[in-house]
Chain A
Amino acid sequence: MTAARASALAPLPLRVRAIRQENAESATIELDPSALPYGRLGASPGQFNMLYVFGMGESAISVTGDCDEPRSILHTFRAVGPVTAAMRRLEPGQTLGLRGPFGTGWPMRAAEGADLVIIAGGIGLAPLRPVVHAVLARRQLYGRVLLLYGARSPDDIIFRPELEKWNGPVEVVVSVDYAHPGWDGHVGFVTGLIPRARFDPAETVGMICGPEVMMRFAANGLLERGVPEDRIFLSMERNMKCATGQCGHCQFGPTFVCRDGPVFAYDRISRLLTLREI
């Protein structure tokens, strides 16, 4: 019964239950987990799966769904390459191969009792969505929780209804790089929200996901506020192929992103982030 789980290299075909467009480039695919061992994925926030479009190839996509919700598996992805474009064309009832879950997750335990500052850029909100769900399920375990989210424009915002729903128990602040008439939210790069955000830096855990340049500046923003290096976490993205640390495609200095990440403490990788050779 556990053969599929035991073989991390063999994708298990799962039925596509639904697919919905998030914005012009991104979509969320919902998979039926009933073919998985025990009928559930058992992922933690921050982990990823390898999704296999049969006949096309495989892509590493972070888990987007609520990890406490076993009845569905959600992945949000940008349809910008051949594999993800083919994934976008899938229809309910078709199958998608899945290997996983892989990698390290966000340090939810370390954040307990602390303020939590979640900083997301673009599609980088997708791997952080399970964090928000985990927080909402146990809201009393955390102090002040902020979600600072940056998108290119109002049309590019993903999970818009949920952002509105989350705002309250979580302080959600959205900023766009380019506004159009009618947008009454913040305008400016997301890192501009950090200096005035209200949290206790010494007792804060930061979780950051987005384009790498954005993550560097967001981490610097938290450091400037006084958040310790070892309490800032980034979800790295490299060319993940095998997801088991064997092929070496995602080597990042002495680490493999697929095996040792994708979530890393900033103090572990800060020196690597500015190395152009890797």
Chain B
Amino acid sequence: MKGIDAILAEHPFLGGFSRDALSVIAGCAANRRYDAGSYLCREGEPADHFFLIRHGRITLETNAPERGALTFQTLGEGEILGVSWLVPPYRWDFDARAVGLVRAVAFDAACLRGKCEADHDLGYELMKRFVPELVRRMQAARLQSLNLYGQTE
């Protein structure tokens, strides 16, 4: 069975991370398994984790009265779940539900924030990975909102 360091080293989000840095953040990480239909996080709850998705698919949802759960994005293998752990007041803004079996690495947010505060180089390396991901998702959300496929002839 692979150690957590090896699992982290293989995840695309942490590509290029030094062995030492991986070893430091591995102390905050744990393997998790979620069965189909279970939730990795719920809107409004403390965002005390962020996740590297290793296997499976997750839907991001918000609930609307009389409409139920509205899915606005799906995430899959090689992607990350969660940025709310970075931004006070550290609460989830949506639900994340496992579509099928999901395997993930969960990072303890307080632990990781503490390590980033103690070692700004480490924090900067992490931010260099989070910011492009955030920009990509923001651009995708903008395009999604434009209803491009509905434009008239």
Name A residues whose Cβ lies closer than 8 Å to a Cβ of B: 78, 80-81, 84, 121-123, 150-152, 156, 175, 177, 179, 181, 183-189, 191-192, 195-196, 210-211, 213-214, 217
Contacts and interface: CB of A to CB of B under 8 A. Distances in A.
Given A213-B143, A217-B143, A187 B71 contact: yes
Contacts of B73: 187-188, 192
B144 A189 contact: yes
Interface of B: 12, 57, 59-60, 68-74, 76-79, 99, 136-137, 139-141, 143-144, 146-153
A189 B140 contact: yes
A187 B74 contact: yes
Contacts, number: 73
Given A196-B77, A210-B149, A179 B71 contact: yes
B152 to A, nearest CB: 5
Contact of A186 (B68, B74, B143): B74
Contacts of A213: 143, 146, 148
A150 B137 CA distance: 16
A214 B148 contact: yes
Contacts of A123: 149
Given A80-B153, A177-B147, A211-B149, 11 more contacts: A84-B153, A152-B150, A179-B71, A179-B72, A186-B57, A186-B74, A187-B74, A188-B72, A189-B144, A191-B139, A211-B151
